[in-house]
Structure 1
Amino acid sequence: MNGLIFAGPSGVAILCAFAVIMLGIGWYAGRGNAGDSSARNYFTAGGGLGMVTLFFTLYATQYSGNSVVGYPPQAYRSGFLWWQSVPFMIAVIAVYLLFAPRLYVLAKRKSFVTPTDFVRDRFGSTKLSVLSIALMLWGLGNYVLEQLVAMGHGIAGLTGETIPYEVGVIGFIVVMLIYSWTGGMRAVAMTDVLQGVAMLVGIGALLVGVIFLNGGLGSLTTYLTQTSPELVGVPETSDAINWLAMIVMIGFGAAVYPHAIQRVYSARSERTLKRSLAVMAWMPLVTTGVVFVVGIAGLQLFPGLGTEESEQLVGMIANEVAAQNIVFYLLMILLFGGIVCAITSTADSAVLAFSSIVAGDLYGRYVAPDAPDRRKVLVGKVVGIVMVFGLLLIAWNPPGTLFSIFVLKFELIVQLAPVFILGLYWKRMAAGPTFWGMLIGAVVAGGATLLDAGPFYGVPAGLVGLAANLAICVIGSLAVSRRDAAAVPAARA
């Protein structure tokens, strides 16, 4: 490399420009909240997001910093096995379509604000609601941690360490908290539009640049066959099973993330939601498919990178592409800013959902039920800030690569899938068996993860836990229903 093109003042200037734009968007969005301090308005934009804004905020939720910064390094290390990232993103859209429109109609009719509002309304069980809250907060905290790590790697890699990991994380956390505080869901969704446009254009330019640098992709497979045949060979049986298992687990897990569910609540209409999801169906190929190719091409551009070095692969490639000519340079500025905005916008979505659960489900229901919405929102904001800075202590020494953090959060969050999906369609589903199924599923998945006992023949512990969860829930609900049915004649007699 002939020096990093975004190292030094140029990279700092680009980041500052995007930060100022995001702050401006937050200020503008906050003006719309001035006359309405309700929790529903702050946390779900009053259910008024239009098709374009909803699409981009769903896009930002599904394609975070992990997708753009973390997936190419995983493709670099795994080879063609990582093509699984495309079908599991397709699976997320399929699961959305399975339950989101039906959930939206119910949420609109009953003015839901937090995901737990549905659980409470459907099952009427305090212990099930509390367990759901615990799993949601765990998943959201994990998700924010992932974004903080991605933020540090992305900024450090793109600027050639001109902005150190720690400085980049702190700087953009402050920006995120300021515009989220002032604008709520409206600010989050509007910044998602900015990052989505920048990232889509930048990713396309990155693909073209990689093809230009490699002299075409036609010889790439031949090169890999000669230098790294294990990356292009037929996967072993356990790898193939793991591929299918990950598609199922991520498809259901990502679709029931709390901040994803709040976006369902935020749609202006059911038609708006369906149209946004229809466009989203194309994004796995346009986004995940492209970054997969970029990661594979990196094997030829930068052979022999270790695990830590490969985590900054996107920054290295982007700087090589930007060095070619002024057009690529300008397009990589869009990608550069889009990646950082994507990471920040995904983190703010999780923080907003975390704050809403604390404000509405914990403080507003168990601590101060009579508190006005303004105070609930304030409590949620403050707790969200404390959570973010608490996670900073972990982000200084992240527990693994981005992908390992990514997998860890799904082990427990996927246990919510039966409540939201089966609960919408199956009237006989009972609260008691659902609680025990979720609890045992979480213990199985979490215990196996802590003991490093999985995967089981390629099946991740989270999916094993989900199978136990579903079995207890279904069998228990059927048993309870039969018992209640048998008790009716006796009571009448």
Structure 2
Amino acid sequence: MVSEEHQTGLLIAVPVYFVLLTGCAYWAHRRMERMEHEKIADTLSAHYLGGREFGPLMTAGTIFASLFSGYTVIGVPNEAYNTGWAALRWMSTIWAIVFGYFGTGLRLRKASNIRNHQSPVDFITDRFQSQFLRYTIVFLQVVPTIIYLAAQVNAIKGTFNSMFNLSPDSAYPVVIIMGIILVFEWVGGLSSVALTDCVQAVIMTFSFIAIPCVLASKLYGWKDLDPFEYPRPEFYQTPSRETQWDFWQFSFINFSFFTLPHLMQRTYAATDLTSLKVGYAVMAIANWFTMLTGVFIGTVGVMILDGATVASPFTSIMEAMMDEGGFSKAVGIIAVTASLAAIMSTADSLVIAISQLITVEIVYPMRPKTSPKEIAWIGRAVSLVGVTAALIIGIFWKSGVGDMSNIQFPISMQAVPAFIIGMYGWSDRTDVHPWSVASGAIASTIYVLAIYFSYLKRENEPMPINAGITGFALQIGCIALVETGRRLLGSSKRSKAQVNEDKKENDGESSGPSLHFPNRPQWDVPKLSRFGDHALSPQLIWKSMEGVNEPLANLWWAFLMFFSISMLTPGVPEYEPPLDPNSGSFYSFAPPATVNGIPWWAFKIILSGIVPFAILIVATKNMPNKFAVDAETIEKEGIDPDLVELTLREKGRRTSYDERNISVSRRRSTISKAMDEVRMAAEHTKLEEDSETMRSRRRISALVMANNLALDHEDLGDILEEAI
């Protein structure tokens, strides 16, 4: 707890922080009104995606604050205080998070640009065309997000009550704070969330950089630690086999972070690839001054607090730092405020993510003719319900934040196969039936819940089994088994009815996109008209990424990342060197090997982290700044109309649940007709192109290049006039 002597500073810092957040919410509200007034974005796009206009700084700030949550500021130091340098597992898992988020982001972003995906589940709906799988993924996104939000509730309650010496069981402060977060989301949508995230990111960054500097100069740094005087010498021993096995599994469990809806929202909300590029780079760089700082605080804190058992080691360490007075006290006050900011930055992101998922994926289909403005208000009510559920879980869950993460991350992992199969399937022949994917996801989720609550949570010393990793392996096996059975028992060939449907589609007579897997009951077929006139096939996805340097599509790059992250696991004999059972210290003739005061195996982890970091930075540097459109190639060879990206205004024209996007359909149709004219002219003459053909080519190029302009449909006529 923070002493009364230091609470004066907090009584100033915390209200100032809330005033800043209020200003951000007001700005975001005005921004939303401007976007709707100028018809840049419809209400849903403005509210849930910030009008898709987040620049590099906004994107980087909101991704940073959403990823590095309250657990980064409080949980990692506390874990390091209690378990030592084994807490470096958080560094390795951040590389896996960036690996997954960066690796899949380019493809999800491109699909969004050509198909107008807005919801985190839109890709699954569009790609697999199955209600069964769609709602399975909705479950696998909503449940972990609510648990994640409940963890933030639990953390806010513990942090705020500790800051002001309130009863640990007092619930009214967290209820008030969550109410404030809810109002900010109602008023400004994702724009409010993102801007407050940026404020929180600045506070957190200053704290993460300043704290180790102050601790090292005023109290202790790693180089000041002596294993013979360290209150917990066992931290210098090599970890047990079980700990190392847990370390490796934990390193990869958070690869699934890219499936979390609040991070997928950022992928769609960024204004361009450059903004995402900056966000990815910040994620990778921030690992060095967030997670590493957290481990530093906890392990040095053992010396500062003499290894005493305390409720919140982080708060006690900050209290000791504030006792030094002057700048140290100021940094301590800012750091404690940053802990609250970090938790709130993640909480507000989760609130709006839950709201979008439930509103757009469950409520909107039930009321398809409701206007986006009305749906946005329904979304605010959904936010209230989501916050209430999280408050109930968070307040009454007594096992703490860490226990919640033990079930949240494994459930999130079960959504990964659907996205990976959907994004990287090669062709129709190798495509997987959506029911096979859904069956595997359901089976693995049941396993995760069963193994966690019936074994891992109940046993004092369970086997080193990560429910998420083993569940993921089980799901892959189930998908393979079910899909093999389907192909052996049924026919993978397209039915005659489907062939006829494809013919109608090609002739322009189809009422909507054809199904990849026909002969399914009608209840399993979702509404798909809003995505486009043709289906999102594996071939279309791969074709859309031609010429783009995307790392995860390179199996060697993926293997290199997997191998480099795996190398961070210590991989050493356990419990070395041994401790003298009589003194509880090391034998003088067999001291532990250290590097600047830390055990050698921990230094190896930190040093090995340079490899995945360098790989990610190089890959990010090589990432394109935009999806290139080669006007010369288009004029000579044409383009698949289905690959033409939507303009910002075309994306923001949604007025009902599944309306056909008339504006982009007409533009694509015009491109298709112009290409037909060029082909017909080429068939009738072998001479130099006549003026009419050249005009058609210029018209194609002009219509395609409109994706870089904010055009109303009527403006396209002017573009064509200039082109011809």
- TM-score, with length taken from structure 2: 0.64
Corresponding letter in the other structure for 2:68: Y
- SS of the counterpart of 2:414? helix
Q: CA deviation at 1:64?
A: 0.5
Distance 2:221 2:68 in 1: 27
Instruction: Please tell me whether residue 384 in structure 1 is matched to residue 383 in structure 2.
Output: yes
Corresponding letter in the other structure for 1:199: M
Q: CA deviation at 1:89?
A: 0.9
Q: Is the 8 A contact 1:245 1:460 kept in 2?
A: yes
Q: Which residue of the partner structure matches residue 442 of structure 2?
A: 439
Q: Is the 8 A contact 1:30 1:183 kept in 2?
A: yes
Residue correspondence of structure 1 range 168-247 to structure 2 within 5 A? 168-223=173-228, 227-247=231-251
Q: Is the 8 A contact 1:105 1:270 kept in 2?
A: no
Q: CA deviation at 1:244?
A: 0.6
Q: Which residue of the partner structure matches residue 291 of structure 1?
A: 294
Q: Is the 8 A contact 2:132 2:438 kept in 1?
A: yes
Q: Which residue of the partner structure matches residue 400 of structure 2?
A: 401
Q: Is the 8 A contact 1:195 1:337 kept in 2?
A: no
Distance 2:69 2:117 in 1: 25
Q: Which has the higher helix share?
A: 1
Q: CA deviation at 1:109?
A: 2.0
Among 468, 478, 483, the alignment partner of 1:472 is: 478
Instruction: Please tell me whether residue 151 in structure 1 is matched to residue 156 in structure 2.
Output: yes
Equivalent pairs, count: 485
Corresponding letter in the other structure for 2:284: A
Q: 1:441 to 1:477 in 2, by over 3 A?
A: same
Distance 1:205 1:4 in 2: 23
Corresponding letter in the other structure for 1:333: I
Distance 1:192 1:146 in 2: 18
Q: 1:186 to 1:163 in 2, by over 3 A?
A: farther
Q: Which residue of the partner structure matches residue 25 of structure 1?
A: 24
Q: CA deviation at 1:370?
A: 1.2
Q: Which residue of the partner structure matches residue 120 of structure 1?
A: 125
Q: CA deviation at 1:171?
A: 2.8
Q: 1:488 to 1:355 in 2, by over 3 A?
A: closer
Instruction: Please tell me whether residue 98 in structure 1 is matched to residue 97 in structure 2.
Output: no
Query: Which one is further off, 198-207 or 334-343?
Result: 334-343
Q: CA deviation at 1:387?
A: 2.2
Distance 2:119 2:96 in 1: 24
Q: CA deviation at 1:300?
A: 1.2
Q: Is the 8 A contact 1:149 1:395 kept in 2?
A: yes
Q: CA deviation at 1:316?
A: 1.9
Q: Which residue of the partner structure matches residue 345 of structure 1?
A: 345
Distance 1:80 1:21 in 2: 36
Distance 2:146 2:434 in 1: 26
Gaps of 5+ in 1: none
Q: Is the 8 A contact 1:147 1:346 kept in 2?
A: yes
Q: 1:426 to 1:83 in 2, by over 3 A?
A: same
Query: Which one is further off, 151-160 or 448-457?
Result: 448-457
Distance 1:124 1:15 in 2: 48
Q: Which residue of the partner structure matches residue 70 of structure 2?
A: 65
Q: Which residue of the partner structure matches residue 321 of structure 2?
A: 321
Deviations 1:417-450 (A, max 9, x none): 1112232111413211100110011011011112
- SS of the counterpart of 2:222? coil
Q: 1:12 to 1:486 in 2, by over 3 A?
A: closer
Q: Is the 8 A contact 1:158 1:316 kept in 2?
A: no
Q: CA deviation at 1:12?
A: 2.5
Q: Which residue of the partner structure matches residue 683 of structure 2?
A: none
- SS of the counterpart of 1:33? helix
Corresponding letter in the other structure for 2:118: V
Q: Is the 8 A contact 2:70 2:152 kept in 1?
A: yes
Distance 1:24 1:163 in 2: 31
Distance 1:93 1:188 in 2: 21
Q: 1:206 to 1:56 in 2, by over 3 A?
A: same
- SS of the counterpart of 1:60? helix
Deviations 1:131-184 (A, max 9, x none): 111121111110111111111222233334499853431232122111111111
Instruction: Please tell me whether residue 255 in structure 1 is matched to residue 286 in structure 2.
Output: no
Q: 1:480 to 1:278 in 2, by over 3 A?
A: farther
Q: Is the 8 A contact 1:12 1:163 kept in 2?
A: no
RMSD: 2.5
Corresponding letter in the other structure for 2:181: M
Q: Which residue of the partner structure matches residue 414 of structure 2?
A: 415
Distance 1:411 1:249 in 2: 7
Q: Is the 8 A contact 2:133 2:434 kept in 1?
A: yes
Q: 1:272 to 1:2 in 2, by over 3 A?
A: closer
Gaps of 5+ in 2: 37-41, 500-724
Deviations 1:233-276 (A, max 9, x none): 111222111111111112x2222211111111111112321232
Instruction: Please tell me whether residue 74 in structure 1 is matched to residue 76 in structure 2.
Output: no
Q: Is the 8 A contact 1:5 1:323 kept in 2?
A: no
Residue correspondence of structure 1 range 360-379 to structure 2 within 5 A? 360-365=360-365, 367-379=366-378
Q: 1:68 to 1:377 in 2, by over 3 A?
A: same
Distance 1:165 1:221 in 2: 40
Q: Is the 8 A contact 1:155 1:165 kept in 2?
A: no
- Greater gyration radius: 2
Query: Which one is further off, 437-446 or 102-111?
Result: 102-111
Q: 1:379 to 1:54 in 2, by over 3 A?
A: same
Instruction: Please tell me whether residue 89 in structure 1 is matched to residue 89 in structure 2.
Output: no
Distance 1:100 1:478 in 2: 30
Q: CA deviation at 1:382?
A: 0.9
Q: Is the 8 A contact 2:231 2:303 kept in 1?
A: no
Q: Which residue of the partner structure matches residue 279 of structure 1?
A: 282
Q: Is the 8 A contact 1:223 1:300 kept in 2?
A: no
Identical aligned residues as a percent: 21
Q: Is the 8 A contact 2:220 2:300 kept in 1?
A: no
Q: Is the 8 A contact 1:157 1:316 kept in 2?
A: no
Q: CA deviation at 1:336?
A: 2.8
Deviations 1:465-492 (A, max 9, x none): 1111122224544665677776469999
Q: CA deviation at 1:301?
A: 1.4
Q: Is the 8 A contact 1:66 1:146 kept in 2?
A: no
Corresponding letter in the other structure for 1:294: I
Q: Is the 8 A contact 2:185 2:193 kept in 1?
A: yes
Q: CA deviation at 1:215?
A: 3.8
Distance 1:297 1:236 in 2: 22
- TM-score, with length taken from structure 1: 0.92
Q: Is the 8 A contact 1:259 1:350 kept in 2?
A: yes
Query: Which one is further off, 232-241 or 21-30?
Result: 232-241
Distance 2:390 2:70 in 1: 17
Corresponding letter in the other structure for 1:376: I
Q: Is the 8 A contact 2:157 2:168 kept in 1?
A: no
Q: Which residue of the partner structure matches residue 450 of structure 1?
A: 453
Q: CA deviation at 1:453?
A: 4.1
Q: CA deviation at 1:2?
A: 10
Q: 1:319 to 1:4 in 2, by over 3 A?
A: farther
